[in-house]
Each structure stands twice: as structure tokens, then as C-alpha cells.
Structure 1
Amino acid sequence: MSDHSRRTFLKAAGGAVGSAALLTGSASADGSSGPDRRFLVDLREVSRSEVPDDVEIIHDISEIDVLAARGDPGAVPGSASTVADLAVYQHDATPEGGPAKEHSGKGRGSKGPAWDSGEPTNTELQWDKRAQRVGDLTENPGNGRTVQDTATGEGTRVAVIDSGVYDHPDLAGVVNEELSENFTTDPYDFRPNGAGNHGTHVAGIVAGNNADGEGILGTAPDTEILSHRVFSGVQGASGDTIAAVVDAASKGCDAANLSLGYPLPYVYPDEYPFLLDVKEMYERAVSYARSQDMVVVNSSGNDALDMDQEGVLSLPTEVEGVFGVAATGPIGYLWDDKKPSREDKALKKLDKPTAYPANYTNYGEAVDVSAAGGNYDPEAIDEVEGWYYDLVLSTVYETNEDGETVPDYGWKAGTSMAAPQVAGAVALVRSLRPDASVEEVETLIRETARDAPEGETYHGAGHLDLRRLIKRAR
């Protein structure tokens, strides 16, 4: 697949991002100092007592000997004691937008007259859950066992480290508001503030409860979500993200979903050596998370990047202990939108199957498994009305003409949508095996994954297979 081997083109395109990926107020790429920088302090290189009082401590992450700070990094003794606090992005919301897609159209038939119009309903549009037989989304209830006949994630907890989770009917009672937290420096709570509905979409994929039978069904609807917000706008901070991972582990989460990362050109440590320092900080956080029995699930990125190339480092996917997820998706789902062709028959009438690698997904040895993230045919966007049916439908919100924020449904595609499929799978396993170690959970997911088109380069151990997974975990 030639469109997955574009290092030269992508590197040139990524150069347009330039210094935008360095956090405003962060230590600069050349390590220079300044009066109001975001940076990380390594307490293994300098004692806490040596950090000047005029350095503001944003997060005390003492569990891994790190402080997230603001001030003048040059005031902290020791050349190795500070690390640039690199900007991090939602994986489908980088400065240049990236090749991943979204569509603002509402879930057809979601509420009101369209329900009886013969148009697809929200449950029919959830190819990602239907392909896995996650729950009873068919028009013929009881037609065979589903994954959720065995496990629904009860008694588990998943952290969505993202842009925040909005109040939505399909997430009612799902978010633990007491334990959720805002890790940014803005004064608001864990709900979205200026960073869009990315986290809300991710949360629906994990734990939508399809409250009225017309909405979104998540993989693990009985799990509990912690909304750990790390974005106020497009950019987030590495220090906020690392603090959120450690906090989620300390609060007993079974999995943390990180649908975020670092865009081109910040994948070349020879050019940006501070990437190696940031990697080491993530390694500490992930090691701590694993010691607390939490699986760290990360989207592999949307740059169609071969992560196995020499001189490439894709963070945090390539951090030791991170469970990396690539994206797949169909081409042609419900394009022939006729009532008799729906149900699971629609999954057999595809130009490309649901397990086919998405055209944007990063790939390589850092991928543990692939999962449904959505796909699209660029030529169909202007030609096919329902081209976006190949994206993933989930919970979002919009601002109506009266300026009110209201719940809604919408499509997105990206490895950001693939990772929460796996985070939900962790919840299912832990609901059946509460004492399973991180290693045991990850091994079960890998060993039950199935072979998929284009092989292990794009799928690691294989494509997520929830039915096989739950059968083995029982």
C-alpha cells in the first residue's frame, strides 16, 4: 500500500507545523531559558529544596519524581534537571488537521421523524459495534449471543485522558464526577472547555449506555469513566498528561485511554533531542501505572507513518509498556442504503472490510493490535452522500442557534477512535477477571486478536476480536 509509505512527503508537510508544537511558555528547542516557561523538573537530578520559590509548581508528581512547573528553567540547578514540556495534541486535532476525518452530520434517525422514515438509525450506523457483535443492535432481538451477554464492564473504571467529557444522555451516570479532574491551568472542571467534543466521542465508544435504545452503545456500558481533562484548546501539555496518567493509576483505573500524541515533525529525535527526555518521563509514568495494575492504551497516530523507520520516535506509542492501537475501517458501509440490505448483510457488501487498515493510520512494531477507528475514500467525499458512514458514530455535543450546548451524535475517524475500543475491552476482561495483571490482560487481547488484511505491520498481534476475548477470559 503505497499511501502508507510517505516519509519524505510527510516530513516536508510536517515541517509546516514548525515550532507550533513547542508549548507556548515551554522551554525552547535549544534548551534556552526564559522567565515564564512550562517545563518538567526531574527530582532524580535535583532535590526539591533546590527548586527556587519563584518557580510555580503546577503538578507535584512525586510518585515518579517529577514536577510540572512554570517559571525560569535556568533557575533550577543542574543542566539535566529540567525537561521541555512539549505540546501534545489530540490525535485528530493537530495544527494542520491531519488526514483523519470527522463529519458534523447528525446520526440519521436519532430522534424524531427520521426514525420511521426508512433511513438508518443510530444503532444501524454503528458498524464498529455490529461487526464485533458487542450488543443487541439488530432488528431481530435474541438472534444469537452477544459480547455483552457475558460482560459489560461492571465494577471497572476507565480514565479518558482527553478534552473532557460533556453531559450526554448516553453517558448519564457513567462519569464519576467526584474523581474526574481538570489537569489544565484553566479554572474550570473536567468538562470540555475550548477543545471540542473529542473526549466526549471517545467516552461514548468506551461506555455509551444507549439509554433509550436509539443512541450509542459502548463496548463496556457498565464501566465507570473518569474524565481527566488535559486540553483547553488544540494544544495540551506533556506535564498535564503525565500527571493525569499517574493520578488515574492512583485512583484505581483499570485502563487509561490516551487518544493523543505528538505530530510531525516531532517524531525525529535526531532533530529534536528533547523528545528522548520526554520519552523518559512517560516511561516513569507508564511504569508506575503498570505497578498499579492499569493498562495504558494509546492511539498510534494519524500520519500514515512507518514507526519502524530508523530515526523515528512516535510518542507515547513507542514508550515501553504502552499498548499501541492502529486504526481500521470499512469502505462502502450502507452506501447502497436500502432497507433490505441493512443489518449484518451490510457488513458483507463492502469495498473494504471493517478490519482493513485505515489510510491514515501509523503502523509498525509499536502496534499491539488494531481496532475500529473509521476509514474513508477521498474520492467518495464529493460523490457519495453517505461516505461518512465509514467513520465511527458516537456521542458529541453542539451549540444550537440559541447558544445552548446540546447533546448530539456525530462521526469521527482516527486512531483516536480505535484506542477506546481497546480500553473498553480491558474493562470487559477486568469485569470477568478482577485480579488479572496488566500483563495477563494485554496477553489475552493479543492472543485472541484475529488475522487481518495487510498483516502484522498494520495490526501487530491482530485485529481486536471481542467475542474470542470474552470466551477466553470467562
Structure 2
Amino acid sequence: MMNFDRRSLLKGIGAAGVAPAFSGLASAEGDGDPAADRFLIDLREVDRADVPGEVEIVHDISDIDLLAARGDPESVPGVDSTAPDVAVYQDDAGSVPENAGPAAEVDKGADNSGSPGWDDGLSNNELQWDKRAQRVGELSDRPGNQRTVHDTTTGEGARVAVIDSGVSDAHPDLADVVNEELSENFTTDEYDFRPNGAGDHGTHVAGTVAGTNASGDGVLGTAPDAEIVSLRVFSGVEGASGDVIAAIVAAANRGCDAANLSLGYPVPFVDPEEYPFLLDIKEAYERAAAYAREQGTLVINSAGNDGIDMDAEGVLSLPTEAEGVFGVSATGPIGFLWDDRQQREDLALKRLADPTSSPAFYTNYGSAVDVSAAGGDVDLEALNEGDKPAYYDLVLSTVVSPDGEGGVEPGYGWKAGTSMAAPQVAGAVALVRSLRPDASAAEVESLIRETASEGEPGGEPFHGAGHLDLRRLVKAAR
């Protein structure tokens, strides 16, 4: 994921600041091995009664015959009864201090008006190319000329779980969206579902799904009348696979139509021969996805940001390649609103060096991709030279930052990554379920694939069944 706000961009960004790093995998020692004191217990291999009392059960995931535990895995009988609980990291989490999260007093009256971009008079609404390309709400490039997606549905009655770094309901565009009762912290820290030192990644994702554009110049989500359930799985910069798997099962049990995962295990942790514990993690994700689908919940995951062919030998990209997980690759324009002449609404998406459906330079690709969606792209040379607003090609959404007084300040900022593409699809699921609440997970997936537009440029490896097309999707669902 790439993360830019106005202040950091104006200070200048070097090439390292836009590296396509996404999330990492490491042990407590940082050597790529599983964390020493966390492990999974397979209840298909050992009886629950035989688990020693000194083993702490962190999560009871017995719906899929798993326990997430802490202690000595060798104390559990059975050769195949335990598997490592692999740690995951978000690379941008250090941008928000640990004390900026849930324990802080939040100022919900902060002034969030105005553009986060250059002093060019552009509104946030104009900068949402991802929604303009899909004719979402009033953000169509041809307002009043054709029916928009929100003329058919705004996602009312649907529910989406954001399994991430937490969602800040201090943001005015998310204040009435997050279901506090169903939201939960799945880490072992003492705080709640809101961010706690893990950055605003989950808040950005949630805005893409269900931002309400409360001020009229905020951000508008794909399904602004859908409900968000924040299931936090990152505490500071570190998370654990067992927390994520438990959160998937919880999302299904809480009636979520989609569970959005924007996380993974990037290079070099993709070779199951070198890292055999990846096969255990894959099997656990498959159990969770199968259970979720039985309850009607689609598990949506970002394909990863390493620019690798997931079909290549020695590559296993998780959770995307786990059976039952809907994989999303990222696309984005090059040149959006670089030219003053583009500010005419009917030209904004036409005068582009690369179209909005062009594969992003960082996206993983291969047969595990089900569809592509807007995740943002960037011309690194233009960005580093600073003579063009190259970050306009990233995805604008809701963010929060420390306010210097122990609280958080809501705002708007750009990020890019397959992390930003997955919630476009999670929002699409909400639109379908608002129209067809009884549709099965398989039926919703089929509708998304069948209505996707032609996957060009790049073809099937980069787009799977095609590029997400919300207008065709809601028409078919209706």
C-alpha cells in the first residue's frame, strides 16, 4: 500500500516512499518464522479435552474446528494437531502514534471541508476518479445525462465487515455507518475496534465501501447506506493470522454480506517449499472461507502488491489463493486531472495517459484474480519530480491523524494498492445484497463476474473475469 497526504507530499517523496510494499510477515525475532508463542490447534486432530490447561485459548474458532492459542505447542498431543500462527504486519502503521487511537478523546466537530490537494480549487468529489468512472451517485462525469448506480440502490440493509487496522467512527463520513455493537477488537490489546497504532488503513478502506459524503464535499462510498462492522486485527504494526481467521468467522456469524480483507503475506514469504507453514495457513483460510460462504458471507481479498505472477512455480499468495476467497487485482489511471483542461467534467476521464482500467504497476496477477477494481496507480517519475499532481491517480478516501491533544483529526488522503481495490468489490456486494438479500454467496459472485466489463489492457491474468462494472451489476441484480 502507498499512503500519501498533502503534508507528506509537499515535504517531498522519494522513490522509497512509493514502494509497492503492502504488509509483511515476521516473527518476534523478525526472521520470517512464526511467532514463538502463538499457534493454531486443529480440533479435527485432537480432542478439546486433551488440550492442556496451561495453554491459553486466544480465540475459540470451533465453528471451523480451530483454536488460536498461546503457549507451548509441543504440550498439545498429536503430530498434526498444531500449526504456527503466522504474524502479519502493515508497513504504514508507524505513521500514527500508538496513543492516537481508541483511548483518545475524539473531536467529531473538526472542520473537514476543502480539497486535500494542491491549491487548485478542486473538490473532494471531483478527485474521486474511482467513483466517477463507475457513475456512483452525483460523481458521474455526465450528471443528469444517464442513470447512476445510486439511482438503483445505495446498499441499504447490507452489512460489510472491514477486517483491518480498525475503523474510526470519529470521521464525519463514517460516524453513522459503523455498528459499534457488532464491531470488535480481535487483537490481544485492551482497546476497542478503533485504530490503535496501526494507522488509518481500515478507515480508508471503510470510506471506499460506505463513506456518506456527510459535508457534501467529503468522500462518497460505493454503498453509503450499508453498515460497517469494524473487526480490528492489527495492534500497532503487528497482527496474527489466528486473529484474522477468527474475525472472518465472526463476520459470518454477525450476518455480514461481505468480509473485506486487505492484507496478506508478500515476497519473500510466498514459497511453500521454503516456508511450509504457508500450507497450514492456507488450509485454515479455506475452512474459514467455506464456513463464511455457508452463512452467505463473501470473503474479499486484495491480490497483493508485489507485481508477481501468482501462477508461477514456488508462489503461493495468501489469502488470495485460498479456495473460496474472491481475489481482486488493482487498476488505476495515469494523468487524472494533470491538465487544467481536464477539469471539465466530460473530459476528466478521457484525457488520460492510461485508462482507469489499466493494471497498476504493483498488482499481483494470475488465475486467482476474480475481477479487477480501482486501487490507484502512480507515475513514479512524475511523482518524484513534483511538477504534476501525480498522486491524483491514487484513491482518495477517509483518513484520521493525531490532533496533538490526545485525539484524532478526521481528514481525507490518498492511498494506492490492491488494499484499495478490494473494498470496491466489497461495496459492490453490498449493492447486490440490498437488491437480492436472499442471494447465495455463489450467486452474488457470479453476478459480479458476469457483469464485469472487458479486462483490457492486460487481459485475463490481470483482470480475471473482467473489470468491476457497477452499472451493469446493479442492472442485472435489479
Return 5+ residue gaps in structure 2 as ranges. 1-18, 95-110
Range that drifts further, 136-145 or 402-411: 136-145
Measure how far apart 1:318 and its partner are.
0.3
Counterpart position of 2:12: none
Give the alignment partner of residue 370 of structure 2, picking from 368, 371, 377: 368
> Residue 445 of structure 2: SS of its match in structure 1?
helix
Cα RMSD (Å): 2.5
1:466 maps to 2:470: yes
Over residues 270-327 of structure 1, what are the superposed CA-to-partner deviations in whole Å (9 max), with x where a residue is unaligned? 1011110111111110110000010000000000010010121100000001000000
Counterpart-to-counterpart distance in 2, 1:257 and 1:202: 9
Are residues 1:409 and 2:412 paired?
Answer: yes
* Matched residue, 1:98: none
The list of structure 1 runs, each at least 4 consecutive aligned residues, that deviate by more than 6 angstroms after superposition, is 25-28
Matches within 5 A, 1:67-216: 67-90=67-90, 93=92, 111=113, 119-137=121-139, 142-166=144-168, 167-216=170-219
| Gap change, CA 1:141 and 1:457, over 3 Å in 2 | closer
- Work out whether residues 89 and 239 of structure 2, in 8 Å CA contact, stay in contact via their aligned partners in 1: yes
Deviation at 1:473, TM superposition (A): 0.7
The TM-score, its normalising length taken from structure 2, stands at 0.87
C-alpha distance in 1 between matches for 2:462 and 2:143: 35
- State the partner residue of 1:333: 336
Q: Does 1:244 align with 2:238?
A: no
After TM superposition, list the pairs within 5 Å mapping 1:200-279 onto structure 2: 200-279=203-282
Native 8 Å contact 1:26 1:39 kept in 2 = no
Q: Deviations over 1:191-219 (max 9, x none)?
A: 00010000000000000011121000000
Mean Cα deviation higher: 67-76 or 130-139: 130-139
Equivalent pair of 1:27/1:38 in contact (CA under 8 Å): no
Q: Is the 8 A contact 1:26 1:84 kept in 2?
A: no
- Residue by residue over 1:447-470, the C-alpha shift from the partner in whole angstroms, topping out at 9 and shown as x without a partner, is 111112111110000000000111
1:206 maps to a residue whose letter is V
Contact 2:93/2:197, CA 8 A, preserved across alignment: no
Matching residue of 2:57:
57
Does the CA-based 8 Å contact 1:26-1:37 persist in structure 2? no
Contact 1:25 1:38 in 2 (8 A): no
In structure 1, the residue corresponding to 2:370 is in which secondary structure?
Answer: strand
**Equivalent residues of 2:114, 2:123 under 8 A apart:** no
Deviation at 1:418, TM superposition (A): 0.1
> What pairs up with 1:285-324 in 2 under 5 angstroms?
285-324=288-327
Q: Deviations over 1:427-460 (max 9, x none)?
A: 0001011111111100000011111211111000
CA distance in 1, matches of 2:274, 2:330: 28
Counterpart position of 1:3: none
Per-residue deviation at 1:399?
Answer: 1.6
How far the C-alpha of 1:49 sits from its partner, in A, is 0.9
- Residue 439 (str. 1) matches residue 439 (str. 2): no
**Distance in 1 between residues matched to 2:190 and 2:470, nearest whole Å:** 40
Asked whether the equivalents of residues 331 and 375 of structure 1 are also in contact (C-alpha less than 8 Å), the reply is yes
Q: Which residue of 2 aligns with 1:39?
A: 39
Task: State the Cα deviation string for residues 156-201 of structure 1 (Å, max 9, x = none).
Answer: 1000000000121001210000000000000000000010000000
Is the Cα contact below 8 Å between 1:330 and 1:356 reproduced in 2?
yes
Letter in 2 for 1:348: K
Kindly state the Cα deviation for residue 361 of structure 1 after the two structures are TM-superposed. Answer: 0.2
Give the unaligned 5+ runs of structure 1. 1-12, 96-108
Verify the 8 A CA contact 2:142 2:346 in the aligned structure 1.
no
Residues 61, 113 of structure 1: CA spacing in aligned structure 2 closer, same or farther, 3 A cutoff?
A: closer
Percent identical pairs in the alignment equals 69
| Partner SS state of residue 168, structure 1 | coil
Are 2:400 and 1:397 aligned?
yes
Q: Give the TM-score normalised by the residue count of structure 1.
A: 0.88
Q: Contact conserved, 1:23 with 1:237, CA < 8 A, in 2?
A: no
